[in-house]
Chain A
Amino acid sequence: MHIVVCIKQVPDSAQIRVHPVTNTIMRQGVPTIINPYDLFALEEALRLKDRLGATVTALCMGPPTASESLRKALTFGADRAVLLTDRYFAGSDTLATSYALSMALTKIGEEFGTPEIVFTGKQTIDGDTAQVGPGIASRLKLNQLTYISKIVATDLEAGRITVERRAETGTQVLATRLPVLITMLEATNEMRRGTIAQALEAARAEIITWNASDVGIEDLTRCGLRGSPTIVKKVFAPTARSEAAEMIAAEGTMDAKARAVIDAIFARAPGVEDDLTAQALHHYV
């Protein structure tokens, strides 16, 4: 079985700061990481490899420095790493990104065998759109299984897969035919750490690097800014609320403070008390 995992190198959003004057992102010194949801996808792929035997290819579109993330994927246990990089991809929105990645996936299929499963994370933590996975699936006409919390069964011989998918009010159990594209939810399991031997091997491994023409993209107007129907016209920082919080300056025992807090809540929002009473009855009787 051949599994491809699409990963993205993202800035660690927890450490991002916005420049107070220019309202631009201060990227300097912000470390990059593999998008956390993509790590769940990679871990799921490696578990399938452990169980059923598989070759796992990690695919990343990004600047040349994204090869660091691919090397990390190799350390965790991916067998092969492909970097899709070209200045023509700069400024791609999700439609242009899914186009470039779908072309790379087709090329991977030709070179190394058609993947039975393509994994991605449910979304990235910088763009947060959750659109690239569905975009790739639509372009490659793969069955698409998004927001998957669990792979229930994989029957390679019958070419079928059964999964649990998070819906809005419950969990769907779905069965479909391979090949599929799966986007993984945050997993309940923890990402493995690679061994030192794997790290040494990964440091020496070749990162296969392709540009637009390598993956058969002839029409460059389908890439980057020119291939992106969405246009970002304005970027700005959220406006701060004009007034800061009213501080409750209570003295004395914790109980006195607690009562002061409750009085302050009910003074600001008298209606809330009725809500709480009704609900508390339900919980307390």
Chain B
Amino acid sequence: MADAAKPAPAKGGRANTKKELPEHFKAYKHVWVAVEIEHGSVHSVSFELLGEGRKLADKRGVELAAVLMGDDREALGQAAQDCFEYGADCVYIACDPALKHYRNETSTQVLTDIVNTYQPEILLLGATNLGRDLAGSVATTLKTGLTADSTELAIDEDGSLAATRPTFGGSLLCTIFTLNFRPQMATVRPRVMAMPEREEGRSGRIVEFAPNIVEDDVVTKVLDFIDDRDSDTAALPYADVVVAGGLGLGSVENFQLVKELAAVLGAEYGGSRPLVQKDWITSDRQIGQTGKTIRPRLYIAAGISGAIQHRVGVEGADLILAINTDPNAPIFEFAHLGIVADAVTLLPALTQAFARRLRVTRMAS
């Protein structure tokens, strides 16, 4: 009964009627993006959101602002310049030693304070682990609505934010509004929105915000950070080429064939959800609604039937090649290229043929 998948109330019901916005919310203006910074670098999802936020702000005829929180003033200044070049008109900067690492406690307090002071109408965050952690707390603290993992954002004729998101594991989409509370909040997954064009030299207004926090009062301490670059963790969302397998491979031994093709192509590898349940792959390699959303230039799906949950995770790929023995598999409905074949015999042949072809190209160049 919880979550967004509740049935739409009957027309004319009180819930979906737009009331006169309470007086204290009328001053809320502008579109904001809370920028995600981890270890000094801005997550690309924040720039993607600035691109999307720009469109919303233009439609509303308001400013687009970015919120930056961190401890290194110089790095924040650099990030602010990036935000201007990706479309922000204004950047709020909160700089404090206590904001060195992301922690829910500090970031929730500072972002809530900035929101209450400058009153945005729309607040967007990335649907990353950091963004969802922060958005959930901030929305609850502000007692406003939050739409998770939106795939489409628009302004409707009333001027309200319409956030569309998949629900029930991607079987349905629903469009969600927050009509009577402010700000209207939404998170968006990385790589769902296109990266905006960068406008070199574009500039804007910087507003410094003095955070009201003291490190000694912060209960949670960051003891260590183990960078994924030092480990074998998958970077699926950012891979240009992805090879994935499904239950059609038959066994965990056959899954090796996926890894071998991926190695030849310099690709990342992954799989559908049942493979995680069977322990063939780790959960960070799961592709789909409850796993990673990918947006590669080439996606090869071997022995994957193409359930809707998988589809929503891969449909941003430029080119999808599906290999499946069943000509009626749903994956052929959304793949661009398909071949009816047993992946277990075709994959090794593909690996060989790719290796030969790429080696020839290398010799020629």
Contacts and interface: CB of A to CB of B under 8 A. Distances in A.
B242 interface: no
Which among B168, B319, B350 has the highest number of chain A CB atoms within 10 Å? B168
Interface majority SS (helix, strand, loop, mixed), chain B? mixed
Contacts of B104: 134, 137, 143-144, 146
Contact of A167 (B102, B139, B334, B350): B102
Given A170-B225, A277-B361, A254 B264 contact: no
B226 A133 contact: no
A238 B349 contact: no
A128 B166 contact: yes
Contacts of A21: none
Nearest to B230: A170
Interface in A20-46: 23, 25
Given A247-B340, A265-B321, A284-B359, A185 B283 contact: yes
Contact of A170 (B15, B227, B353): B227
Contacts of B276: 186
B171 A13 contact: yes
A132 interface: yes
A241 B226 contact: no
B289 A128 contact: yes
Interface string B211-231: 000000001111111111100
A280 B3 contact: no
Interface stretch (A50-58, A206-214, A229-237): A229-237
B105 interface: yes
Interface string A247-276: 110100111011111101100110111011
Contact of A248 (B166, B337, B354, B357): B337
Interface in B114-132: 128-130, 132
Contacts of B149: 128-129
Interface stretch (A74-82, A103-111, A174-182): A174-182
A129 B339 contact: no
A176 B167 contact: no
Interface residues of A, number: 107
A235 B339 contact: no
A116 interface: no
Nearest to B6: A91
A282 B266 contact: yes
A91 to B, nearest CB: 5
Nearest to A137: B137
B102 A130 contact: no
B236 interface: no
A273 B364 CA distance: 13
B176 A230 contact: yes
Interface stretch (B35-43, B72-80, B90-98): B35-43
B358 interface: yes
Nearest to A146: B133
B139 A95 contact: yes
Contacts of B147: 230
A268 B319 contact: yes
A168 B128 contact: yes
Interface string A127-142: 1111111110111000
A247 B332 contact: yes
A201 interface: no
B180 to A, nearest CB: 7
B9 A25 contact: no
10 contacts: A124-B3, A168-B36, A229-B145, A230-B147, A233-B177, A238-B308, A245-B336, A257-B339, A259-B353, A276-B266
Given A98-B140, A168-B43, A276-B298, 10 more contacts: A23-B172, A94-B148, A126-B3, A127-B3, A134-B135, A168-B129, A173-B224, A232-B8, A255-B352, A279-B267
